Structure 1
Amino acid sequence: MLIEKGYDLRESLRILWQNKNAGAVATGLVATLFSTMGPGMIVMNAAKSGGLTDAQAISWLLGIYLIGGLSTMFMSLRYRLPVVTAFSIPGAVMLAKILPNFAFSEAIGAYIVVGVVTLILTLTGVMKKLVENIPVPVMLGMVGGVLLSFGTSMFTAAIKMPQVYGIMIAGFFVSMAFKGFAKKVPPIIIAIVTGIVALAFYQLITPIPLSLEIAKPVLAMPTFSLRAILDISVPLFFLVIGVQNIQAVGVLMAAGYKVPINAMYVVPAIGTFINAMVGAHPAVTAGPSTAICASPSAGEKKEFRFIAAFSEGVFWVTFALLAKIIVDSVKMVPKEFTAVLAGLAMFEVFKSAFEGAFAGKFRMGALVAFFVAVTNLSILNIGAPLWAIFLGLLTSFIVEREDFRIQKGKDIETPQALK
Structure 2
Amino acid sequence: MIIEKGYSISESLGILWKNKNLGAIATGLVATLFSTMGPGMIVFNAANSGNLTDAQAVSWLLGIYLIGGLATIFMSLRYRLPVVTAFTIPGAVMLAKILPNFTLSEAVGAYIVVGVVTLILTISGLMKKFVEHIPVPVMLGMVGGVLLSFGIGMFTAAIKMPQVYGFMVISFFGIMAFKSFAKKVPPIIVAIIVGIVALAASNLITPVPLSFEISKPVLALPTFSLRAILDISFPLFFLVIGVQNIQAVGVLMAANYKVPINAMYLVPAIGTFINSLFGAHPAVTAGPSTAICAGPSAGEKKEHRFIAAFAEGVFWVSFALLAKIIVESVKMVPKEFTAVLAGLAMFEVFKSAFQGAFAGRFRTGALVAFFVAVTNLSILNIGAPLWAIILGLLTSLIVEREDFKLNKTENGKLLETAK
How far did residue 410 of structure 1 move? Answer: 2.5
**1:21 aligned partner:** 21
1:399 counterpart = 2:361: no
Whole-angstrom CA distance in 1 between matches of 2:85 and 2:218: 22
**2:229 aligned partner:** 229
**1:212 aligned partner:** 212
**1:369 aligned partner:** 369
Secondary structure (helix, strand or coil) at the match of 1:66 reads helix
How far did residue 97 of structure 1 move? Answer: 0.2
1:92 counterpart = 2:92: yes
How far did residue 412 of structure 1 move? Answer: 10
**1:417 aligned partner:** none
Aligned AA for 1:171? S
Aligned AA for 2:289? S
How far did residue 114 of structure 1 move? Answer: 0.1
**1:119 aligned partner:** 119
**CA deviations over 1:129-165 (Å, ceiling 9, x no partner):** 0000100000000000000000000000011100000
How far did residue 180 of structure 1 move? Answer: 1.2
Superposed, 1:131-142 pairs within 5 Å as: 131-142=131-142
Whole-angstrom CA distance in 1 between matches of 2:275 and 2:370: 33
Identity of paired residues, percent? Answer: 84
The answer (yes or no) to whether the contact 1:111–1:282 under 8 Å persists in 2 is yes
Runs of 4+ displaced beyond 3 Å? 411-414
**What is the TM-score with the length of structure 1 in the denominator?**
0.98
Whole-angstrom CA distance in 2 between matches of 1:236 and 1:393: 23
The answer (yes or no) to whether the contact 1:406–1:412 under 8 Å persists in 2 is no
1:284 counterpart = 2:291: no
Q: CA RMSD in A?
A: 1.1
How far did residue 100 of structure 1 move? Answer: 0.1
Whole-angstrom CA distance in 2 between matches of 1:297 and 1:346: 9
**2:182 aligned partner:** 182
Secondary structure (helix, strand or coil) at the match of 1:86 reads strand
Gaps (5+ residues) in structure 1? 415-419
How far did residue 413 of structure 1 move? Answer: 12
Aligned AA for 2:262? N
How far did residue 409 of structure 1 move? Answer: 1.7
1:312 counterpart = 2:312: yes
Aligned AA for 1:173? F
Does the C-alpha gap of structure 1 residues 127 and 152 become closer, same or farther in structure 2, counting only changes over 3 Å? same
How far did residue 284 of structure 1 move? Answer: 0.1
How far did residue 406 of structure 1 move? Answer: 1.0
**CA deviations over 1:251-305 (Å, ceiling 9, x no partner):** 0000000000000000000000000001000000000000000001100100000
Superposed, 1:4-153 pairs within 5 Å as: 4-153=4-153
Whole-angstrom CA distance in 1 between matches of 2:177 and 2:376: 35
Whole-angstrom CA distance in 2 between matches of 1:75 and 1:412: 31
**2:417 aligned partner:** none
**CA deviations over 1:39-74 (Å, ceiling 9, x no partner):** 000000000000000000000000000000000000
Aligned AA for 1:63? G
**CA deviations over 1:377-402 (Å, ceiling 9, x no partner):** 00000000000000000100111000
**1:156 aligned partner:** 156
**What is the TM-score with the length of structure 2 in the denominator?**
0.98
Aligned AA for 1:111? Y
Whole-angstrom CA distance in 2 between matches of 1:103 and 1:348: 44
Aligned AA for 2:31? A
**1:354 aligned partner:** 354
Secondary structure (helix, strand or coil) at the match of 2:114 reads helix
How far did residue 407 of structure 1 move? Answer: 1.2
Whole-angstrom CA distance in 1 between matches of 2:315 and 2:88: 18
1:267 counterpart = 2:288: no
Aligned AA for 2:319? F
Aligned AA for 2:303? E
Aligned AA for 1:178? F
Secondary structure (helix, strand or coil) at the match of 1:284 reads strand
Whole-angstrom CA distance in 2 between matches of 1:410 and 1:317: 44
How far did residue 2 of structure 1 move? Answer: 2.6
How far did residue 22 of structure 1 move? Answer: 0.4
Whole-angstrom CA distance in 2 between matches of 1:238 and 1:397: 23
Gaps (5+ residues) in structure 2? 415-419
Whole-angstrom CA distance in 1 between matches of 2:413 and 2:289: 28
**1:2 aligned partner:** 2
Whole-angstrom CA distance in 2 between matches of 1:23 and 1:300: 9
**1:191 aligned partner:** 191
Whole-angstrom CA distance in 2 between matches of 1:411 and 1:348: 28
Whole-angstrom CA distance in 2 between matches of 1:58 and 1:165: 32
